[in-house]
Amino acid sequence: MDASSPSGTEWFFLLHAATRPAGFQDIRVYGRDGISDARLVWKVCHECERGVISKISLSPEVQRQGLGTRLVDRALLDGPGYRWTTSSQSPDGRAFFRAMTARTGAEFAAGARTCEHILESRPGRHKPILDRRLHRIRR
């Protein structure tokens, strides 16, 4: 297990898994101090092979440490080769997703239309568990 950032901070990735198909998946990242450093929300429809990054936010102290990249990589594990879009993007978000497109080949079109299952999914989530996939990814 290697959940460390380059600066040596240890992170815990807590996943609230979706309770239904195309539902909200939500990972919150916590440092040892118990303060939430980042959050990723995404949805995947296996029927239509589509995914959407609904939200990604990082507190300023943890930016530029590769954490955003790790989170998006994690979402892509749920739908490799699927058509990925995002919600609307801030200027920083546009630069970030351009780099992620160059890196992964996923499109990440901002605000693009997605499938009816993703559009119609409602909130609902399981209790958090440590995300096994992020705690296994090594850099």
Q: Which amino acid is at 30?
A: Y
Residue 114, sorted as left (phi over 0), alpha (psi -120 to 50) or beta, turns out to be beta
Q: Does 109 bind Zn ion (CB under 5 A)?
A: no
Question: Binding segment for Zn ion among 11-19, 87-95, 98-106, 112-120 (CB under 5 A)?
Answer: 112-120
Least Å distance, CB 96 to Zn ion, is 25
**Rounded Cα distance, 52 and 82, in Å:** 10
Q: Looking at 99, 110, 115, 137, which residue binds Zn ion (CB under 5 A)?
A: 115
Distance CA 114, CA 1 (A): 35
75 in contact with Zn ion (CB under 5 A)? no
Distance CA 102, CA 85 (A): 14
- Measured between alpha carbons, how far is 68 from 56 in angstroms, rounded to an integer? 8
Q: Which is nearer to Zn ion, 3 or 75 (CB)?
A: 75
Q: How far is the CB of 12 from Zn ion (least distance, A)?
A: 31
Query: Which candidate, 63, 65, 57, places its Cα nearest to that of 27?
Result: 57
Q: Draw the binding track, 42-61, toward Zn ion (x: CB under 5 A; -: no contact).
A: ---x-xx-------------
Residue 109: CB minimum distance to Zn ion, A: 16
Q: Which of 14, 44, 117, 134 binds Zn ion (CB under 5 A)?
A: 117
Question: Which spans of this chain sit near Zn ion (rule: CB under 5 A)?
Answer: 45, 47-48, 115, 117
